[in-house]
Chain A
Amino acid sequence: MIEMIIQSLPLAIFASVPLLLAVEGELVAERAGMINLGIEGMMLTAAMTAVFAAQISGSIIAGLFGGIAGALAVAAIFGFFSIRLKADQIVTGTAINLLALGLTGFVYREMQQSAIFVRSVPHVGAAAENAIAIVSWIVIPILLSLMLWMTAFGLRLRACGEYPRAVAASGPSVAMHRWAALVIEAVLVGAAGADLSLALSSGFAENMTSGRGFIALSIVIFGRWKTRGILLGTAVFGIAAALQYALQAMNQSLQFHLLLAIPYVVTLLILCGIAGKVRAPESLGRDA
């Protein structure tokens, strides 16, 4: 078993990059008091816009920016409803997931008839994949930790997630900080979507995120809203997913469904404080 885990590590590290980037984005949003259930739709939209941008330009970098642009558009909708109109975040997030699922399915099918679609999708090289993995697993976590826990901006941002009235009373705008957190999330989730459709696969497919956004939400809980915790959480979920392939290769595919369920059960236990102490941001999911 240990040997199998070690063998599946490389796959786990690369295959969970989109998941990790999404988790990092969601951490920032949740620390600012927003639970973005629409992260699934955000990633799915980014995956599609990244492919279109890469096909039109023939460049991976343009694809990355295309993905980020798509995620930002979704973030704008989420922010407009949940921050500006103070609509319930869960309802807004649910609507965004349905919106993205419907719209990408529709647009993708339409684009199959257009000339852009037949152009090949540029491929991400091995060196670039290594760089992406290092950035997502090491550089971004360090930067996020520094930002959230070492800067005044990070302190205010976290305060928006704990006790927004105190932030408002002391001057800074809660809405502005939540918008900022949303933009950071969108950049990371946009990159996640682009990595999914350009590096992990070469093209878009309907509903290709297949629950990664929801898994990201689970991992943020698993990681107890801490940077180290979410890295560990992503590793656990990533290894479980990678082991599935090893088990399938050994014709023991039966067990992998149960294996895949285990991280969720563990997350549930963590959420209940059974497996260690946990405290969610106090104002998570509430308007300011």
Chain B
Amino acid sequence: MRRLAVGIGAAALSLLLLALAGAAFGHSPRVLLEILVSGSIGSRFALEGTLLKSVPLLLTGLAVVIAFRAGVWNIGGEGQFIVGALAAYLTSRFGTTAALLAAAVAGALWASIASLLRVWRNAPEVLTTILLNFIAIHLLGYCVNGPLQEASGQYPQSDPVPQAAALPLLGGSSLHAGIVVALLVTLASWWLLYRTREGLRLRATGFNPSAAQYAGVDVNAQIARAMALSGAVAGLAGAIELLGVTHRLFERVAAGYGYAGIAVALLAQLHPIATIAAAAFFGALATGAGELQRSASISSSVATFGQAVVILVLILFGSMRAFAPGRDE
């Protein structure tokens, strides 16, 4: 209950600070908040935009939840998202299911590079996942400027995925079936973390690795599995964004979703189900901020500001200390 209060408090405080920042530059805080609300949940169109933005956030957030719960730092969501999108594009001609599976496998493999290097050479995954993000970004840059560039060769982007592979839209809306996939993955993650032995071992590893080891958990293998799972979910996010929204690959296809996933996971206080609410909040914030930019000429980057405030407020409340990964001293 306290965790719920802290989460809501952090979200509210970020909105308050946003309004204050606006006021500092002469915008009416009331108007600003009104636009933010109406632009994110005020109409059917706005609500659909919010839900569309929430889907990748939910999955990248989940990816972070799974890794952090195992006490392993996966800052590589951005890179895993990208290789997921790449793999989905390459396999899209075999249909949606194949593309989604390929993305999950690619994300898992990409993340596993980091966990392998940790187990094998003791290389900290914080650093390796960041490096892998850059390698993925340049790999994508190479692909959309070279082998995968659209046939007309005009822009650094790929041709659209085949119509048959695109995620179907849900009943006359702009929402795609990826939402259903994301929610199912969320439920599956919750079930895995809290209802299976695997989940218990995973959480034990994150909570106290030496105790887990003593209790018979193979900590290294556990971390490797958690990291692969985390990468798979982030890769899936990339595939769903490609097949449901962008339909094309381009350099900025990940658009910071990987990093935003950290804010989502922390706001959810590393609980899979709460991740739905956290992703919806940040999805709404991003969509509302887009409306702020269009109608009030306030930079949409305030959404990023909101993510930062949420994280810092949560640190202030001290609610993260209990899960801070890497306490294996």
Contacts and interface: CB of A to CB of B under 8 A. Distances in A.
B295 to A, nearest CB: 14
A254 interface: yes
A99 interface: yes
Contacts of B25: 107, 110
Contacts of A218: 127, 130-131, 134
B63 to A, nearest CB: 14
Given A90-B126, A91-B262, A271-B123, A101 B138 contact: no
Interface in B114-156: 117, 120-121, 123-124, 126-128, 130-135, 138-139, 141-142, 145-146
Contacts of B298: 106, 109-110
Contact of B126 (A35, A77, A85, A103): A35
A134 to B, nearest CB: 30
Contacts, number: 158
Interface stretch (B91-99, B201-209, B309-317): B309-317
A20 B130 CA distance: 19
Contacts of B128: 268, 271
B329 A257 contact: no
Interface string B295-306: 001111111111
Given A102-B303, A272-B123, A260 B138 contact: yes
A81 B315 CA distance: 8
B301 A101 contact: yes
Contacts of B326: 88, 90, 285-286
Interface string A180-209: 000000000000000000000000001000
A59 interface: no
Given A91-B311, A272-B123, A280-B124, A257 B141 contact: yes
A103 B127 contact: no
A122 interface: no
Which of A94, A217, A280, A286 has the most chain B CB atoms inside 10 A of its CB? A94
B299 A94 contact: no
A142 interface: no
Contacts of A264: 131, 134-135, 138
Given A102-B303, A106-B301, A268-B132, A95 B324 contact: no
B307 A85 contact: no
Contacts of A95: 263, 307-308, 311-312, 315
Interface string B276-312: 0000000000000000000001111111111111011
Interface in A235-259: 253-254, 257-258
Interface of A: 35, 37, 77, 81, 85, 87-88, 90-92, 94-99, 101-110, 206, 211, 214-215, 217-218, 221, 253-254, 257-258, 260-261, 264-265, 267-268, 271-274, 280, 284-286
Q: Sorted from nearest, which 6 A-B pairs have the closest CB atoms?
A: A105-B301, A102-B305, A102-B304, A99-B308, A257-B142, A261-B138
Given A90-B126, A98-B304, 10 more contacts: A35-B126, A97-B308, A103-B301, A106-B21, A109-B297, A215-B134, A217-B127, A257-B145, A268-B117, A271-B123
21 contacts: A37-B126, A87-B320, A95-B308, A95-B315, A98-B263, A102-B301, A102-B303, A102-B306, A102-B307, A102-B308, A105-B302, A106-B21, A106-B301, A257-B138, A261-B142, A267-B131, A268-B132, A271-B117, A272-B121, A274-B121, A286-B326
Interface of B: 21, 25, 73, 75, 117, 120-121, 123-124, 126-128, 130-135, 138-139, 141-142, 145-146, 259-260, 262-263, 266, 297-309, 311-312, 315-316, 318, 320-321, 324-326, 329
